[in-house]
Amino acid sequence: SYPGSFRGAAFSRLLQDSSEPEVRNRAWFYLGKVRYQRSLYPEALQAFERISGALPASLDAELPMLRAQAYLALGRFDAAVALLDGWRGPESWIAYARYNLGVALVRLDRPDDAIRQLDQLGRSAADTAELRDLRDKSNLALGYLYLQQGRDSEARPVLARVRLNGPFSAKALLGAGWADAAVQDYR
């Protein structure tokens, strides 16, 4: 059970009382998700490991993303890469998988692989506000990766792809300024 939580106690009762695998699997999923949201990453992964069998399609698609993000939070970048590299989930989750994979590859000091993931996402079409934000976040990560590598002239156009009216515009403008200064373009 999850100490001090009515939800945790309710999940525990559900897990003990239910003989239906589908109900137990959904309960383990939601218990893991609550633990993940509370930054209890090892406990979240333990709950996810208790899932045995099928989940509803929407939960089955979300599960690898939650596991990967927990691995990233714990610094287990190799586990995140192993989970996400080549993952073929629903189209609605592919962008998240690509971003998380790119971040894990950066952390594993595999910049060329990370650049491929982040650049592909950074150039992708985005038909929702959430995907536009993720695309901007990817371009920001890629731009800063280029800056860290001293590839300032390559960073500038990538950072320019970040929308000016989005939540990442200030960081993108700062990075673009650094890129311009590094190549002595002070206009």
Q: Where are the alpha helices (DSSP H) in 21-168?
A: 21-37, 41-49, 57-73, 77-84, 91-107, 111-122, 129-148, 152-160
Residue 2 has a pLDDT of 45
What pTM, to 2 d.p., does this model score?
0.84
R_g over Cα of the chain: 20
Residue 1 has a pLDDT of 44
Q: What does pLDDT average to in each consecutive run of 10 residues of the chain (187 residues)? A: 54 66 90 97 97 91 96 97 91 91 97 97 94 97 97 96 96 96 88
Residue 8 has a pLDDT of 59
Residue 12 has a pLDDT of 64
Instruction: Count how many residues are written for the chain.
Output: 187
Residue 15: alpha-carbon gap to chain centroid:
29
Tokens of 94: 């592919």
Residue 80 has a pLDDT of 97
- Of 54, 57, 55, 35, nearest to 44 by C-alpha is 35
Contact 155, 166 (CB under 8 A): no
